[in-house]
Amino acid sequence: MDDSVKEVEILLVEDNPTDAELCMRALKRNKMANQLVWVKDGAEALDFIFATGAYSSRNVCNGPKVILLDLQLPKVGGMEVLRRVKADERTHSIPVVILTSSKEDRDIAESYELGVNSYISKPVEFDAFAKVVAELGMYWLLVNRPPILK
Amino acid sequence: MIQRSGYLSRFTRTLWLTVVFFVMFAITFFLYLRAERQTEHAYELRHHSFVLADELRQSSDDLTRMVRTYVATGDPIYKRHYQEILNIRDGRMPRPVRYEDIYWDLVLDDDRRPAPDGEAISLLERMRLAGFTTTELAVLAMAKANSDALTKPEFAAMALIEPPHPATATNRLKAMRMLTDTAYHLAKAGIMKPISEFYKMLDERTLKAIRDAERFATLLRLALIMLGAALAFLLWSAYRVLYATLGCSVDELQERISRLGKGELSLPIPVARGMEDSVLAWLSGTQRSLARLDAERRAAEVEVRQLNAVLEQRVAQRTEQLEAAGRELEEFSYSISHSMRIPLRALDGFSKILLDEYGTTLDDEGKRLLNVVRDNAQRMGRLVDDILHYLSLGRRPLEQAPIDMDGLVRGLCAEIQAATPERSLHFSIGELPPSRGDWVMIRETWRNLLSNAVKFSWESDSVLVEIGGAAGNEENVYCVKDHGVGFDMRYADKLFRVFERVHPTGQYEGSGMGLAVVKRIVTRHGGRVWAEGKVNEGAAIYFALPNKGENHG
């Protein structure tokens, strides 16, 4: 895969293709979808992040600049992915933004407990959704300064 | 029952019979005492009779002594005494007191008397008064008559020594002979013989009276013994009847009754053979009934307790099932609502993309139609969000903290005014007692009520919203009142239902969830909501929160 060589900026973990497409379109509109990888479940997301399975040729330290993570995922849930990312010292500094339909208080609380960087509930209205996605892409990719990884 | 009353009457009969016998016994005893006295009376009468007869004999002897002394001495005092004795005996002179005792023997020549005078009464009269029989009286009258007859020769003898006869020795001797000769003694014997006869008669009379009295007394004594025995028998049979009626002794019965009275129902009362129709037997039956009833009551109590326990368990089970069903339903609603958000977002999102990227190939009508799709997708998105919010109110844990209602409401009023600067809002805030509850939820309640009040007020320049409250013992009541479109009281209960709108869609913005949310929050706090209103005159929404002793006074 070509993507594996390039520096990936956004990892989108989303099982719903329409939501994924909307998300990608919203990013594309703001010219931020170039270095985006979309995976459809938690297991694939973990393979990508930790350079295992299909992504074993990747370097773990060459992680994405931000992970957009849905919570309701097949195989491995979003919360488990978050837990694993934040538990591993190679990946725990990668910003993780939960982008989900869930508004459950306990999901929000648990996510923050695990060290999530943002928790965003996806609005139904596309304009609002596009605005939110653009803003968080802008912030995490352009405004935020991540630590230098060795 | 007949048998029982028979027993009682037998006892009463025995008792009355005892009383009658006792009266008879008393009378007999009285008679017996009188009979005993009768003997004494006979002796007394005998003595009295003897004294009277002896007085006759004594008077005869005294006369003889006086006449002889007079003849021998010629002293006239003896003649006077002689005459006096006769007079006293015939009742012509007063009879000296205790004359029956020795009298004339104590009268000497100085004529001094040993006793004073009494009543004048003849001896025969006194004998008659003493109750002498006719025969006795006849005998004694004969003796007295003989004595009276003897006075004739005695007077003759006395006359011999009185003038005209000279008081010579010859005459005196002649007179003395007259008083001592055989004829005189014969006459004397003629007096004494009836008296002696009377003595015999007296003895017989006395003996007879004594015998009669004694026979009567013996009879009475016998009667007394028999009556006494009868009384004893009657008392004994009264006791037997009473025992048979009661079935035991009075003491035992009292003990049994007092035990029953104290609630000792389980102790059986034994009844002796043949006592099956006694008070004790009835008491025994009563005890058995009471013990049975008591046991039944206890068993019923146990049963009721068990049933209660089962019932409570069932209620708890049903409640749990009901609650589980409710939770399931909410979960279901929640996941449906939630699941609808993704397709809705796609609907809106792809419509937008279509408009943006293919807008040039669509005519105006095509664009309008696409916008209608977007509008409805967005509206449904808001509805879904409202539902999710409504459902989340039941899932969130309830915080309990003191709430400064006045500060909360004033802040909200300022916020609402700031959000609608084009309208002039007047909030009239009355007393708002503090309360307890979930601050976020209570704030939402107030915000919904206040924004509703503003929303449904007439679109005039000035809007008046009245806010008030009152602290009570059980609950604090709060109220928001507007002067807007109001509502028909017939639909008052519909106001608080999910998506129920009293006003047509489009007329007033909002999903129709506001009051449903208010009701859910207040109900979760254990309070209640209600509304009052009139079409075109405004509405007042009340809510009450339980007051758990937070207000002093």
Of the partner residues B342, B377, B378, the one whose CB lies closest to the CB of residue A101: B342
Is the CB of B352 less than 8 angstroms away from the CB of A122? no
Is the CB of A101 less than 8 angstroms away from the CB of B350? no
HSE, side-chain direction, 13 A CA sphere, residue B414: 6
Distance from CA of A112 to the nearest CA of B (A): 18
- Per-residue pLDDT tens for B55-74? 889 998 998 989 888 888 88
Does residue A102 carry a pLDDT above 80? no
**% pLDDT > 90, chain B:** 19
Contact of A103 with chain B, judged by CB distance below 8 Å, is answered with: yes
Most confident among A46-50, A61-65, B113-117 (mean pLDDT) = A46-50
**Is residue B217 included in any domain, yes or no?**
yes
Does residue A96 carry a pLDDT above 60? yes
- Using alpha carbons, select from A53, A102, A59, A123 the residue that is nearest to residue B348: A123
Query: Which of A17-21, A60-64, B123-127, B212-216 shows the lowest mean pLDDT across its residues?
Result: A60-64
User: What's the CA gap between B552 and B428, in Å, rounded?
Assistant: 25
Of the partner residues A22, A103, A130, the one whose CB lies closest to the CB of residue B346: A22
Query: For all residues of chain B together, what is the average pLDDT?
Result: 86
pLDDT of residue B228: 92
Does residue A2 carry a pLDDT above 50? no
Contact of A129 with chain B, judged by CB distance below 8 Å, is answered with: yes
Domains of chain A by residue range? 2-143
Distance from CA of A25 to the nearest CA of B (A): 9
CATH number, domain at B450? Answer: 3.30.565.10
What is the count of structural domains for chain B? 2
**Is residue B28 included in any domain, yes or no?**
yes
Distance from CA of B341 to the nearest CA of A (A): 6
Is the CB of B385 less than 8 angstroms away from the CB of A18? no
Answer yes or no: are the C-beta atoms of A51 and A58 closer than 8 Å. Answer: yes
Name the residue with tokens 């009040």: B453
**Is residue B264 included in any domain, yes or no?**
no
Answer yes or no: are the C-beta atoms of B551 and B476 closer than 8 Å. Answer: yes
Interface probe, candidates B335, B342, B354, chain A, greatest A C-beta count within 10 A:
B342
Structural domain boundaries, residue B166: 2-236
**% pLDDT > 70, chain B:** 95
Mean pLDDT over residues B324-339, rounded? 86
Q: What is the DSSP string of B375-430?
A: HHHHHHHHHHHHHHHHHHHHHSPPP-EEE-HHHHHHHHHHHHHHH-TTSEEEEEE-
CATH of A2-143, one of 3.30.499.10, 3.40.50.2300, 3.90.580.10, 3.20.20.140: 3.40.50.2300
Contact of A108 with chain B, judged by CB distance below 8 Å, is answered with: no
- Per-residue pLDDT tens for B96-155? 988 888 888 888 878 888 888 888 898 889 888 888 888 888 988 898 899 888 888 888
A122: chain B residues, CB-CB within 8 Å: 341, 345
Is the CB of B396 less than 8 angstroms away from the CB of A127? no
Contact of A19 with chain B, judged by CB distance below 8 Å, is answered with: yes
Nearest chain A Cα to B391, which residue? A104
Of the partner residues A16, A126, A127, the one whose CB lies closest to the CB of residue B342: A16
- Per-residue pLDDT tens for B252-274? 889 888 988 888 888 888 888 87
State the virtual CA torsion across B347, B350, B351, B357 in degrees, nearest 10.
Answer: 180
Does residue B307 carry a pLDDT above 90? yes
Is the CB of A124 less than 8 angstroms away from the CB of B341? yes
Mean pLDDT over residues B371-400, rounded? 86
Interface probe, candidates A25, A102, A126, chain B, greatest B C-beta count within 10 A:
A126
Distance from CA of A79 to the nearest CA of B (A): 18
What is the amino acid identity at position B108? L
Of the partner residues B338, B349, B384, the one whose CB lies closest to the CB of residue A126: B349
DSSP character for B508?
B
Does residue B244 carry a pLDDT above 70? yes
Interface probe, candidates B338, B340, B348, B357, chain A, greatest A C-beta count within 10 A:
B348
Answer yes or no: are the C-beta atoms of B283 and B256 closer than 8 Å. Answer: yes
A130: chain B residues, CB-CB within 8 Å: 349
Of the partner residues B349, B388, B395, the one whose CB lies closest to the CB of residue A129: B349
**R_g of chain B computed on alpha carbons:** 71
pLDDT of residue B461: 64
**Is residue B509 included in any domain, yes or no?**
yes
pLDDT of residue B299: 94
**R_g of chain A computed on alpha carbons:** 14
B345: chain A residues, CB-CB within 8 Å: 18-19, 22, 122-126, 129
What are the DSSP E strand ranges found in A15-136?
A: 36-39, 66-69, 96-100, 118-121
**Is residue B409 included in any domain, yes or no?**
yes
Neighbours of B404 (CB within 10 A): 13
- Helix, strand and coil in chain A, % to nearest 5: 45, 15, 40
pLDDT of residue B551: 44
pLDDT of residue B507: 61
Band (B357; pLDDT cuts 50, 70, 90): confident
Provide the β-strand partners of residue A12: A38, A68
**Is residue B276 included in any domain, yes or no?**
no
Distance from CA of B349 to the nearest CA of A (A): 5
Is the CB of A124 less than 8 angstroms away from the CB of B350? no
Mean pLDDT over residues B470-498, rounded? 86
Interface probe, candidates A121, A124, A133, chain B, greatest B C-beta count within 10 A:
A124
B348: chain A residues, CB-CB within 8 Å: 124-126
What is the amino acid identity at position B137? L
**Is residue B242 included in any domain, yes or no?**
no
- Domain edge (last residue) among B204, B236, B268: B236
Query: For residue B429, which phi and psi values (nearest 5 degrees)?
Result: -105, 115
- Domain edge (last residue) among B236, B263, B285: B236
pLDDT of residue B40: 85
Q: Which are the contacts of B201, defined by CB distance < 8 A and separation ≥ 6?
A: B135, B136, B139
- Per-residue pLDDT tens for B74-98? 888 888 899 999 999 888 889 898 8
CB pairs under 8 A between A and B: 56
User: What's the CA gap between B294 and B299, in Å, rounded?
Assistant: 8
User: What's the CA gap between B291 and B294, in Å, rounded?
Assistant: 5
Mean pLDDT over residues B437-446, rounded? 91
Of the partner residues A18, A103, A123, the one whose CB lies closest to the CB of residue B346: A18
Is the CB of A101 less than 8 angstroms away from the CB of B341? yes
- Domain edge (last residue) among B236, B261, B296: B236
Q: Which are the contacts of B359, defined by CB distance < 8 A and separation ≥ 6?
A: B367
Most confident among B168-172, B176-180, B304-308 (mean pLDDT) = B304-308
**Is residue B179 included in any domain, yes or no?**
yes
Cis preceding linkage at B546, omega within 30 = no
pLDDT of residue B317: 93
Is the CB of B352 less than 8 angstroms away from the CB of A127? yes
pLDDT of residue A149: 56
Nearest chain B Cα to A14, which residue? B342
Contact of A40 with chain B, judged by CB distance below 8 Å, is answered with: no
Does residue B7 carry a pLDDT above 60? no
B343: chain A residues, CB-CB within 8 Å: 18
Mean pLDDT over residues B427-450, rounded? 90
